């Protein structure tokens, strides 16, 4: 299942969990993701904060140019579907759940058919959430195929050659069924917490002054004990695609900890690459940000540009964020026990974020 998600294109339909969709796209490392363009403004808005996905995302339309014979064949097939009580029952269930009038049954059926056609044209697997799957599968019932299940996902493969909805080319159609979290998990572990810091604040020979390492010790407990759950750029292998890895980690994280210091403020990469992505996702509601003041610095003069998912280009002063410690009580001015208490406080805030019902 993992190889399927990583190595091929996906077609993501309207029936998705919009709040977690960026995680799905961020999990696609090698393939291309197509998303159906009609009525997808909410998804396009949520993706403004994820420009690093670039050409891997392509908006497409389900309006296809088909020859006269193919159009007639498909129309006759859809007419015949209304004589199938199982298809009409699934249409009724779907319309009741979505509060749609029965008069739109033909439109709904045609939409499902167009998705099947589009997936063939793009040679893409259809990603479909379970409650919308029965209708589409009914249109393909009776076809030879197979299915497999893995970690909460089901991969349905059917041979559409000879079917009215088969349009040549690749006759093997794949449909991936499952919730967002299962889809992301199948594509590989994702970071739940991202730590943004300057290397100078973690390279001391004194363990007590390797501040990020100390923070990690407090964070790696319970649901965050997994090595991959918390991400810092120390996780990048030598020769790795470090910029893409950082962007992917921010795109999948639910919480970000900012270890603020003079070196943090002076870092061009943090200000121009990391912070715009972090703030964009924060204002989109997908990411909680927890700043901690490590050493005295000009927090009030630090300003970052970013893309707000709702309002477009925006700017934010770092001092507008709620710091874990008062600005006049930086971490390095505290006693060791006070430092541990502060790290415990930050870890608890992060823990509450990633274990809240809205994040499960």
Give the pLDDT confidence of 295-314 residue by residue, as tens digits. 999 999 999 999 887 788 89
For 277, other C-beta atoms within 10 Å of its C-beta total 25
Start-end of CATH 3.40.50 domains in the chain: 2-186, 193-359
Task: Give the C-alpha distances (Å, rounded to integers) separating 58 from 11, 12, 61, 83.
Answer: 9, 10, 10, 36
Higher pLDDT, 265 or 233: 265
Q: What is the pLDDT of residue 47?
A: 52
Rounded Cα distance, 265 and 319, in Å: 12
Strand partners, 308: 312
Q: What is the CATH number of domain 2-186?
A: 3.40.50
193-359 fold: Rossmann fold (3.40.50)
Task: Write the CB contacts of 262 (distance below 8 Å, at least 6 apart in sequence).
Answer: 295, 296, 297
Bridge partners, residue 104, by sequence: none
- Strand segments (E) across 115-274: 125-128, 145-150, 153-159, 172-177, 193-196, 230-231, 255-260
Q: Is the pLDDT of residue 208 over 80?
A: yes
Strand order from edge to edge, sheet including 288-293? 230-231, 193-196, 255-260, 288-293
Between residues 18 and 321, the one the model is more confident about: 321
Which of 48-57, 200-209, 227-236, 291-300 has the highest mean predicted lDDT (pLDDT)?
291-300
The answer to whether residue 29 scores a pLDDT higher than 70 is: no
Q: How many CA atoms lie within 13 A of 359 on its CB side?
A: 18
Q: What pLDDT was estimated at residue 192? A: 83
Q: Is the pLDDT of residue 346 over 90?
A: yes
What is the C-alpha separation between 43 and 49, in angstroms, rounded? Answer: 11
CA-CA distance, 28 to 230, in Å (whole number)? 20
pLDDT (tens digit, 9 = 90+) per residue, 51-97?
545 555 566 665 677 788 888 888 999 999 989 999 999 888 888 87
Quote the pLDDT of residue 326: 95
**pTM, entire model:** 0.54
Say yes or no to pLDDT of 348 above 70: yes
Mean pLDDT of the 193-206 span: 92
172-177 vs 288-293, strand pairing mode: unpaired
Q: What is the mean pLDDT of residues 330-340?
A: 96
What's the rounded mean pLDDT across residues 233-238? Answer: 51
Q: What pLDDT, on a 0 to 100 scale, did the predictor assign at position 340?
A: 96
Q: What is the mean pLDDT of the chain?
A: 78
């Amino acid at each position: 299942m993992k190889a399927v998600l990583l190595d091929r294109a996906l077609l993501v339909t309207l029936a998705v969990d919009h709040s977690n969709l960026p995680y799905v796209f961020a999990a696609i490392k090698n393939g291309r993701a197509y998303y159906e363009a009609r009525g997808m403004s909410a998804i396009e808005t949520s993706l403004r904060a994820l420009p690093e996905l670039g050409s891997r995302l392509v908006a497409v339309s389900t309006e296809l140019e088909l020859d006269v014979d193919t159009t007639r064949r498909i129309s006759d097939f859809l007419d015949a579907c209304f004589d199938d009580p199982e298809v009409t029952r699934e249409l009724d269930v779907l319309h009741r759940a979505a509060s749609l009038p029965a008069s739109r049954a033909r439109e709904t059926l045609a939409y499902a058919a167009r998705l099947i056609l589009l997936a063939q044209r793009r040679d893409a697997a259809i990603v479909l959430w379970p409650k919308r799957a029965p209708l589409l599968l009914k249109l393909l019932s009776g076809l030879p195929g197979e299915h497999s299940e893995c970690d909460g996902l089901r991969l349905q493969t059917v041979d559409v050659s000879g079917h009215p909805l088969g349009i040549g080319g690749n006759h093997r159609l794949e449909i991936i069924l499952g919730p967002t979290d299962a889809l992301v998990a199948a594509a590989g572990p994702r970071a739940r917490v991202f730590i943004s810091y300057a290397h100078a604040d973690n390279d001391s020979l004194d363990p007590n002054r390797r501040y990020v390492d100390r923070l990690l010790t407090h964070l790696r407990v319970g649901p965050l004990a997994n090595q991959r759950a918390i991400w810092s750029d120390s996780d990048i292998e030598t020769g790795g695609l470090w910029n893409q890895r950082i962007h992917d980690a921010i795109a999948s994280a639910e919480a970000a900890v900012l270890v603020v210091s003079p070196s943090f403020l002076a870092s061009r990469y943090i200000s121009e690459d990391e912070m715009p992505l972090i703030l964009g996702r924060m204002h989109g509601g997908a990411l909680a940000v927890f700043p901690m003041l490590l050493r005295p610095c000009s927090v009030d003069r630090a300003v970052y540009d970013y893309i707000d998912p709702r309002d477009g280009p925006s700017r934010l002063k770092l001092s507008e964020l709620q710091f874990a410690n008062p600005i006049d009580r930086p971490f390095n001015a505290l006693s060791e026990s006070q430092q541990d208490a502060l790290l415990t406080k930050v870890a608890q805030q992060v823990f509450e974020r990633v274990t809240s019902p809205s994040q499960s």
